[in-house]
Amino acid sequence: MQRRYHKNKPQKEVIKEMRVNGAITVPQVRLIDENDVNVGILDTRDALERARAAEMDLIEVFPLATPPVAKIMNYGQYKYELEKQSRKNKAHQKVSELKSVRLSFRIKGQDLETRRSQAMNFLSAGHKVKIEIILKGREKAHKDIALENIKQFISSLGNNIKTIQPVACLGGQITAIVCQ
């Protein structure tokens, strides 16, 4: 039987629908007019009449307040501003991935320097680095040497390295996770 693996599709950010005009069902609202002036607590019908008189929409901006806060504004423009703000926030998010550097039991010299430079590049880019050694066969009898190798590798990365997950042995695998 053939197995197919599908990548997860990126989820679209769901913008919470606000109650607008006739959808506002509460009896009273705290009204903010089109000039950002706090009018006070009014009946919802009176607030709707004011919005119609200004040829704008009545939008419930803070539904959890008591009474809910409603504002007179253009609904399309308000929705556009919210989407623009969410895109801006998403662009400024720092995404940190977990990168992996695999060492061997007998790694020395130039190979070790290559792994060290890879790890330093990952750390300088703001990623977390998982350092791992997989022991095979008779190497499992000498875990102490592998532990020493991984500790020396972590110390060679520099002083400003923080250990998120300390060195741990799980079967034939020794791992540690560090970040900058």
Same domain as 36, residue 104: no
- From 89, 121, 139, give the residue that closes a domain: 89
- From 59, 89, 119, give the residue that closes a domain: 89
Q: Is the pLDDT of residue 1 over 60?
A: no
pLDDT tens-digit series, residues 37-65 = 888 898 988 999 898 898 898 898 888 88
Distance, CA of 167 to CA of 178 (rounded, Å): 10
Give the domain range for residue 169.
Answer: 98-179
- What per-residue confidence (pLDDT) applies to 115? 93
Same domain as 105, residue 60: no
In a domain, 11, yes or no: no
Residue 15 — very low, low, confident or very high, per pLDDT cuts 50/70/90? very low
| pTM for this predicted structure | 0.51
Same domain as 72, residue 114: no
Task: Quote the number of domains for the chain.
Answer: 2
Structural tokens at position 79: 């929705």
CB of 58 within 8 A of CB of 20? Answer: yes
Dihedral-angle region of residue 158 (phi above 0 means left; psi in -120 to 50 means alpha; beta otherwise): left
Q: Is the pLDDT of residue 106 over 50?
A: yes
Residue 5 — very low, low, confident or very high, per pLDDT cuts 50/70/90? low
